[in-house]
């Protein structure tokens, strides 16, 4: 009995110490890092135009990238495709709390993406494809803030925690990527399809490639911002024992401490912070870690389309299905003819890679077409066709 009482007493002391530690930390952190602090936009002004595939600037963005009518068609189409997912979890890594679908494609399959999904993606892809890339991952992200808090400790204030885009990493296993190359995206493009103004839900891009992080272990071979943030939150705010007990107000103090510490650590390494604005097109270096903030409970559903773009050696491209759209983790084609063209009845892919497309010719064609005034029409499809013909001639 005495031992039980002693354990309870020690537990309460530890709990009180954690709460005190969190409170002291919270009071010591400048107000600018607290939840209520305003989060200014970075970069402060949009670019005149985006240089797709160029990473001289870590993050570029333009406003009113497409006509409102086109944006509305995309938004309605995405909501129709994702509507059956409401209340379910996304099968996509890092998007467990989002409604989404995905499409994987190589250069040979990308021109068919719009028809495969039944969405008017041609204009978006013509504008945003990185000419230096040869593998692509498209997904829509629909975040509904009314579904409650998304982030687990210490990511309370995040809908999507800090991550890199590695959606095609599974195809790089066993391949000969350059040393240190984890198969992350070269370029990421995000198009916002509605406004979420002064209500959170911002995209944040950090000055960190996470090269120092060793996956699957708690160790680090170098500087690792994500690990640093997690350790700072743990060490400065104490353990989560009080949250497990559901006690107030200590739980809120502990949670607020986490938010302030994460804001301070990540904010000091911030390269970009952009809130969703209809027609805002964002382009950033895919090697950089990024996250999405939680929207205010009363804010509208956040709808965006994301294009992750990869530059892989041919040995990896051969392993990637030429065109595979998935919904609820299963193949999904809006076109029956395309489904039979790219999938067996079993659901397995019929085609892999881009064996008849010259990546070099595609790059040269797309760069040339975009430099023309006015730019060439349907450059993606025409350049894939030109690169296919060039590859056939080389053979």
On whether both 158 and 141 belong to a single domain, the answer is: yes
Give a yes or no: residue 245 inside a domain. no
Burial class for 131, CB neighbours closer than 10 Å (0-12, 13-18, 19+):
buried
Contacts 24+ apart (CB under 8 A), 121-124: 121/74, 121/305, 122/378, 122/380, 122/381, 123/66, 123/70, 124/66, 124/74, 124/191, 124/305, 124/307
In this structure, is residue 230 part of a structural domain? no
pLDDT at 219 over 80: no
Same domain for 378 and 345: no
342, 376: one domain: no
The DSSP code sequence of 160-193 is EEEE---TTGGGGTTS-PPTT-----SEEEEEE-
Dmax (CA) for the chain in angstroms is: 87
The reply to whether 226 falls in a domain is no
Domain check: are 62 and 93 in the same one?
A: yes
Q: What is the pLDDT of residues 158-176, one digit of tens each?
A: 888 899 999 999 999 877 7
Our count of domains for the chain comes to 2
Same domain, 305 and 387: no
Residue 268 has φ and ψ, to the nearest 5°, of -75, -10
Binning pLDDT at 50, 70 and 90, where does residue 119 land? very high
pLDDT tens-place string over residues 31-77: 777 764 557 888 999 999 999 999 999 999 999 999 999 999 999 99
Show the domain range for 376: 357-365+372-395
Q: How far is CA 258 from CA 8, 86, 101, 207, 250, in A?
A: 26, 29, 32, 21, 12
Which contiguous run of DSSP H or E holds residue 323? strand 323-327
Q: Average pLDDT, whole number, for the chain?
A: 83
In this structure, what is the dihedral angle of CA atoms 70, 72, 78, 80, given to the nearest 10 degrees? -130
Domain contains 1: no
What pLDDT is recorded for position 19?
46
329 and 394 together in one domain: no
Residues 361, 351: one domain?
A: no
In contact, 190 and 281? CB cutoff 8 Å: yes
CB 128 within 8 A of CB 281: yes
pLDDT at 215: 53
Specify the CATH number for the domain of residue 68. Answer: 2.60.120.620
pLDDT band at residue 107 under the 50/70/90 scheme: very high
Q: 378 with 333, same domain?
A: no
Model pTM?
A: 0.86
- Domain assignment present for residue 86? The answer is yes
Identify whether residues 340 and 389 lie together within a single domain. Answer: no
d(CA 222, CA 219): 9
Are 290 and 376 in a shared domain? no
In a domain, 13, yes or no: no
Residue-level pLDDT at 1: 43
What local confidence, expressed as pLDDT, does residue 152 receive? 80
Answer whether residue 142 is part of any domain: yes
Res. 112: pLDDT tops 70: yes
* DSSP letter for each residue of 109-138: TGGGHHHHHTS--HHHHHHH--TT--EEEE
Distance CA 227, CA 212 (A): 9
Q: Are residues 131 and 53 in the same domain?
A: yes
Domain membership of residue 232 (yes or no) is no
pLDDT higher at 182 or 249 = 182
Q: 333 and 361 share a domain?
A: no
Three-state DSSP state, 214: coil
- Using 50, 70 and 90 to split pLDDT, how confident is the model at 213? confident
pLDDT at residue 166, as a whole number: 92
Q: What is the pLDDT of residues 280-292, one digit of tens each?
A: 999 999 999 999 9
Question: Which 3 state secondary structure label does DSSP give 42?
Answer: strand
């Amino acid at each position: 009995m005495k031992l039980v009482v002693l354990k309870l007493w020690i537990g309460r002391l530890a709990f009180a110490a954690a709460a005190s530690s969190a409170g002291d930390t919270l009071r010591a952190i400048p107000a600018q890092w607290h939840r209520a602090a305003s989060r200014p936009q970075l970069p402060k002004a949009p670019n005149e135009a985006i240089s797709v595939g160029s990473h001289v600037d870590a993050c570029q963005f333009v406003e009113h990238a497409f006509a409102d009518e086109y944006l509305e068609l995309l938004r309605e189409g995405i909501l129709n495709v994702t509507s059956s997912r409401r209340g379910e979890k996304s099968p996509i890594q890092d998007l467990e709390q989002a409604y989404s679908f995905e499409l994987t494609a190589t250069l040979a399959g990308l021109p068919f993406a719009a028809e495969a999904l039944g969405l008017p993606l041609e204009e978006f892809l013509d504008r945003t494809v990185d000419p230096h890339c040869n593998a692509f991952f498209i997904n829509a992200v629909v975040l509904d803030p009314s579904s409650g808090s998304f982030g687990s400790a210490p990511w309370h204030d995040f809908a999507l925690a800090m991550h890199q885009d590695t959606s095609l990493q599974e195809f790089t296993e066993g391949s000969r990527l350059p040393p240190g190359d984890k198969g992350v995206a070269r370029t990421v493009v995000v198009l916002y399809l509605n406004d979420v103004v002064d209500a959170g839900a911002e995209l944040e891009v950090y000055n960190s490639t996470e090269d120092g992080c060793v996956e699957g272990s708690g160790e680090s071979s170098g500087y690792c911002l994500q690990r640093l943030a997690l350790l700072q939150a743990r060490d400065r705010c104490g353990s989560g024992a009080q949250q497990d007990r559901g006690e107030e107000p200590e739980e809120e103090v502990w949670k607020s401490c986490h938010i302030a510490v994460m804001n301070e650590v990540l904010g000091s390494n911030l390269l970009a912070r952009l809130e969703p604005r209809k027609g805002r097109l964002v382009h950033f270096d895919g090697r950089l870690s990024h996250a999405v903030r939680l929207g205010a409970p009363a804010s509208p559903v956040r709808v965006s389309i994301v294009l992750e773009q990869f530059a892989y050696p041919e040995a990896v491209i051969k392993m990637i299905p030429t065109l595979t759209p998935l919904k609820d983790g299963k193949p999904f084609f809006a076109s029956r003819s395309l489904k039979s063209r790219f999938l067996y009845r079993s659901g397995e892919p019929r085609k892999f890679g881009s064996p008849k497309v010259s990546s070099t010719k595609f790059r040269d064609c797309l760069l040339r077409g975009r430099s023309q005034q006015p730019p060439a029409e349907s450059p993606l499809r025409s350049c894939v066709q030109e690169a296919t013909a060039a590859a056939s001639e080389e053979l």
